A and B are shown apart, each in its own frame.
Chain A
Amino acid sequence: MKQKQNIEELMQHLKSAYKVPENYFEELNSDFMYEDNKKAPSKKTFSTLSIAASILLIFGLSLYWFAKKDEISLQDKYESPTHVSVNEDAFFNDIDEEIIEDYIVENGLIDEIYIESETNN
């Protein structure tokens, strides 16, 4: 053991052995300084966590939205209808059924046509 017999001297060594991260107090003060009497000081770690949680939430929602969007477009793309639902009144009032049916079926666009009543929706 070194001959540091003086308690005062030892205590000074001990104190200087305790280090503080650079700019710690400046950062602490800027986090805690009360600005414009609007914001009460809050715990730095808590604020950081809140920001992180918000970012994660936004990221999660964005992913969900993109997933849903992809799901819809995939359905549109790959699940092309083998039958078409048509509003019955509109169909019979405005369009000649046979012409349309013949045209669509003959051209191989769909296999067959189902006429769907509004009440069955």
Chain B
Amino acid sequence: MVEPGIQAFKQWDKGKKMNWIMKNYSKDLYWVIRPIVKTHENADDVLQNTLIKAYKSLDSFKYNSKIFSWLYRIAVNESLNFLKKNAKHKTNECLNEEWIVALRNDPYFEGDEILLQLEKAITTLPPRQQEIFRLKYFSDKTFGEIADILGVSTGSLKASYHLAVKKIKNELNLL
């Protein structure tokens, strides 16, 4: 997706900006949110919150980053807030288990037990590694694009990714 020039985007009225975002990024944002909050119902809820927040914040967007990077941040924050709301007084292990159960019961998830184990293994990674992993596979971003979105160097990103792969293989006894 080629973003319009910042200057051109700035000139648009709020409605046109929002329509452009909807048309070009609603799907990408969904695939940022869905692997974090697991079920479609949760993803739909969080995506709508994300879009409303983006609309409300359009005027305060400083254009210091790319439009998608800004939207991505909102989507991740909204997803994490959603998880936090559901995490009260629960241990990580208990939560991960709950999410897997929710995913298993989601009518819009058709994975087998191996894929559920993989999902569980991803949730055991540190947050940044999870982020990289999910961006790489669910959003089909290149390492360069992910580095751009997360504001890190491609080198450190690749190192984190390989560490994540190793941990997952270990978790799944695939080594």
Contact = CB atoms under 8 A, between A and B. Distances in A.
B15 interface: yes
A11 interface: yes
Interface in B106-165: 108-112, 114-115, 118-119, 133, 136-138, 165
A20 B108 contact: yes
Contacts of B136: 11
Interface residues of B, number: 39
Interface stretch (A34-42, A70-78, A99-107): A34-42
B23 A28 contact: no
Given A5-B174, A19-B110, A37-B15, A29 B115 contact: no
B1 to A, nearest CB: 15
Contacts of B119: 14
Contacts of A35: 15
A35 B14 CA distance: 11
B59 interface: no
Given A7-B165, A25-B30, A28-B26, A41 B110 contact: no
Contacts of B15: 34-37
A44 B44 CA distance: 10
A43 B49 contact: yes
Of all A-B residue pairs in the complex, the 6 with the closest CB atoms, nearest first, are A17-B111, A34-B15, A11-B137, A19-B108, A37-B15, A34-B18
Interface of B: 13-16, 18-19, 22-23, 26-27, 30, 34-35, 40, 44-45, 47-49, 51-52, 55, 108-112, 114-115, 118-119, 133, 136-138, 165, 168-169, 174
13 contacts: A4-B114, A11-B133, A12-B137, A14-B118, A17-B109, A17-B110, A18-B35, A20-B30, A25-B27, A29-B23, A34-B15, A34-B19, A41-B55
